[in-house]
Amino acid sequence: MTDSATNELQVSGVRKAYGPGAPVLDGLDLTVPGGALAAVLGPSGCGKTTLLRVVAGFLKADAGSVTVAGRLLGGPGVHLPPERRRIGIVPQEGALFPHLSVARNVAFGLAGRDRAAKRTRVGEMLELVGLPGYGDRMPHELSGGQQQRVALARALAPEPHLVLLDEPFSALDSALRGAVRAEVRAALRESGATGLLVTHDQQEALSTADLVAVLRDGRVAQCATPQDLYHRPVDPWLASFVGDAVLVPGTAEKNTATTALGRVPLAAAPQGLREGLVLLRPEQLELAEPDTAGASAEGVVTDVRFFGHDAMVTVRVDGLDQPVDIRTLGPLRQEPGRRVGIRLTGEATLHPRGA
């Protein structure tokens, strides 16, 4: 087991371009505390995979530095090859060696240890990922989730400081994905290794990681805990990218915003900003009967999307140009054409227009 307190990842001012055009990474900074699992999100082409490859050592950055556990891995005049970085990698779909048993796959990176030490370490790793007794099986005898856990065991076996996970759950069906994510997260925490997860799945990032970094234009637009990222995004673009957002014009006075949906307390607003876009999440809007106490706005239902555990109801609100989405739980009693009232709950954030 590695010492999680010393396994901090620091990416400082990293720049990487593939040609004469705009760089894919443009002065990117990212710090992941030792023992934490950070997820990297962003639109297609934002540089998520390039960042992973630079940290792993598969690509050499044009500028900037990468440090893990206080050791410079890449920077001015320094570029350690991947095999010397003490970084484990879990690729998509596991990528196990099909001709090797589970035990031999896990032992692949344990060069320099005697047979008894390898056997002991393989047993520890299979126990850690919940697959004791699977050492003699072949990869084709395992389910997709089991293959991913073996890939994690293989990555953790050499006691890396950092584990890179490149969309490792994307090939799993939705019913299995959540369980395997939880098992991988638990194994990483027990091992003490720092983790960097690249994913396009927002739900996966928010539910799995300790920190979430959103990339935009080759830089980190915001890195925060999942709760802060969701409830206090730095701008409307990020709010709309991470989850569903309700953005309405509003005016702020004494930490309260007034909007066409009603008045709502403000959790945050830029200093001196009086007018802008008020951010709410769909679950902060509650449906009510029109003309009832507490209903601060009214409108007409235009669409209903049922998801089983909840539903998204679209309402064209009186006084607003654009419709709003409202997430509602429980039995569905709404249908298009019905007039409804709206109540606001929780706190909002205020952002400049055009940010």
Closest-CA residue to 23 (of 217, 220, 216): 217
Q: Phi, psi (5° rounding) for residue 277?
A: -105, 125
Q: Sorting pLDDT into bands at 50, 70 and 90, what band is 1?
A: low
- Is 244-351 in the same CATH topology as 4-231? no
* CB-CB contact of 147 with 93 (8 Å): yes
What long-range pairs does 227-233 form, CB within 8 A, spacing at least 24? 230/206, 230/281, 231/267, 231/281, 231/347, 231/349, 232/267, 232/268, 232/349, 233/279, 233/349
Tokens at 268, concatenated: 């945050």
Report the top-level CATH class of 4-231: alpha beta
Pick left, alpha or beta for residue 146 (phi over 0 → left; psi -120 to 50 → alpha; otherwise beta): alpha
> What is the Cα–Cα distance from 184 to 172, expressed in whole angstroms?
14
Q: Which residues fall within 8 angstroms of residue 274, CB to CB, at 6 or more apart?
A: 251, 252, 253
Tokens at 342, concatenated: 């709206």
DSSP string, 207-225: HH-SEEEEEETTEEEEEE-
Closest-CA residue to 199 (of 186, 217, 182, 181): 181
Q: Which residues fall within 8 angstroms of residue 116, CB to CB, at 6 or more apart?
A: none
pLDDT in tens, 297-350: 999 999 999 888 889 999 999 999 999 999 998 666 788 999 999 999 999 999
Q: What does the domain layout of the chain look like in residue ranges?
A: 4-231, 244-351
pLDDT in tens, 137-149: 999 999 888 898 8
Mean pLDDT, residues 163-173: 84
pTM over cut 0.75:
yes
CATH topology for 244-351 is OB fold (Dihydrolipoamide Acetyltransferase, E2P) (2.40.50)
* CB-CB contact of 176 with 144 (8 Å): yes
